[in-house]
Structure 1
């Protein structure tokens, strides 16, 4: 096999992985959710995981049981490394298996590893030969164009999503600073100002503070509400990863997630 073939396989399985995630979310939540870290219809972790399984497990395809354990190990390690790196790079835990038995850091767990082992056996022994024939059937020129478009889309999408994630971290940090200052003001006047940030009427609080404090509260409230405003990519990420946890600003992230849940609830009522 050539690099071209492996890139084609990565494209196909990245798309099929996205379809699997969307189908799973649709069954679970009874609605469409664009799952995955990226915005487009691809989940590269699936493409990378399956291609690694194809490369590393090929010598074991004659023995089903051995193929099962080797492929399960390869895919589990891929998910573990991906989860760990995304956690360290973005300071968020994107998925969490902590409540599932036999998990490693919440990144992977035995039940899903067993499922992926079965899936990989099916892919390598049944489905992959069909994919190989399909890739060989597609004219090489057309295939190269699709692969190039896939790589370009991957680079652009990854860049856009990474920037959005970095902005999310900045928003959480800003919300945390505002919350800290409001808590300090609350201690001085004996009223929890932060809990009233979503309120449209702060008149009762303003009556009990000095003019300077009132101006500062108004300024912080305006900044806070501005930070809560909708953002398409940010809100999609929060919907796609409902179990996401922030390593540094847990409370603020939960506030944003609750806002997204309210928007979803209100849209259902309309």
Structure 2
């Protein structure tokens, strides 16, 4: 048991490093992509253990079989996790709907193949080395490390859940306002939305226009509303959580102004 606990934390840290590295390469800046505050992503820890335990000892089995099984296990975990998070918080933490061959936006063929390749390397190369290294360590050293990491993890989890509860309340408040205003001003809201979508596609023109300055001002107010460190970190890590809400935020303000004219 102690061996698997150690593996969970190690793979969670490795996953966090992979996420950070991917976004540094793709976006050119550091983003703490962890669900929690610490430098670890639990889903990678669970995913790695799932692959290792489900695949078991395949020995000299067909390498292609190992690859596809790895992809299936990793994708199933991503699908289940994404679905549960959306049902709990009523927001998508990641969205693959713009990718081809996606399933509900939770998983897609492109990333399933990537997860398959990563898990294949994990199963064939990384885990055997990690297993040997851990077996060389005395259990008297492993247990205290696991206890310390476990305590940090639990405290971090509690703090994150509290932050998410606050976010959820703010999300609900914004969405409730948006629904109430839409019921009274559907026609105006649709026109404003259409213009907003067109304006967003012409960002450069907006920057020097009155509408653009107003949109920037509302965006700044939206960001100020989520001014807690934990909330800002989560919104940066999962930007699609705030994109839809920021759009509603701006739409609410514009509709209110239209109604008072």
TM-score range, shorter chain: 0.7 to 0.9
Q: How large is the RMSD of aligned CA atoms in angstroms? A: 3.1
Are positions 1:21 and 2:19 aligned together? yes
By how many angstroms is 1:245 displaced?
Answer: 6.3
Q: Deviations over 1:78-131 (max 9, x none)?
A: 111111111111111000011111111111111111111122121111111111
Aligned counterpart for 1:48 among listed residues 46, 54, 57: 46
By how many angstroms is 1:255 displaced?
Answer: 4.4
Name structure 1 gaps, 5 residues minimum.
200-223, 257-270
How many residues are aligned here? 221
On the 8 A contact 2:222/2:249 being kept in 1, the answer is: no
Aligned counterpart for 1:35 among listed residues 33, 36, 41: 33
By how many angstroms is 1:170 displaced?
Answer: 1.1
Aligned CA distance change for structure 1 residues 245 and 92 (closer, same or farther; 3 Å): farther
By how many angstroms is 1:243 displaced?
Answer: 2.2
On the 8 A contact 1:53/1:75 being kept in 2, the answer is: yes
Q: Deviations over 1:28-72 (max 9, x none)?
A: 222211112111111010010110111111243422111111111
Aligned CA distance change for structure 1 residues 66 and 60 (closer, same or farther; 3 Å): farther
Which has the higher Rg, Structure 1 or Structure 2?
A: 1
Name structure 2 gaps, 5 residues minimum.
187-191, 193-210, 215-220, 251-261
Aligned CA distance change for structure 1 residues 47 and 183 (closer, same or farther; 3 Å): closer
Are positions 1:159 and 2:158 aligned together? yes
* TM-score for both structures, normalised by structure 2: 0.74
Aligned CA distance change for structure 1 residues 73 and 179 (closer, same or farther; 3 Å): closer
Aligned CA distance change for structure 1 residues 112 and 61 (closer, same or farther; 3 Å): farther
Q: Distance in 1 between matches of 2:49 and 2:25?
A: 27
Q: Distance in 2 between matches of 1:43 and 1:182?
A: 38
Q: Distance in 1 between matches of 2:68 and 2:249?
A: 41
Aligned CA distance change for structure 1 residues 20 and 131 (closer, same or farther; 3 Å): same
Aligned CA distance change for structure 1 residues 252 and 176 (closer, same or farther; 3 Å): farther
* TM-score for both structures, normalised by structure 1: 0.72
Partner residue in 2 for 1:73: 72
Aligned CA distance change for structure 1 residues 49 and 185 (closer, same or farther; 3 Å): closer
On the 8 A contact 1:92/1:245 being kept in 2, the answer is: no
Partner residue in 1 for 2:145: 146
On the 8 A contact 2:75/2:112 being kept in 1, the answer is: yes
Deviant stretches of 4+, over 4 Å? 176-187, 224-227, 252-256
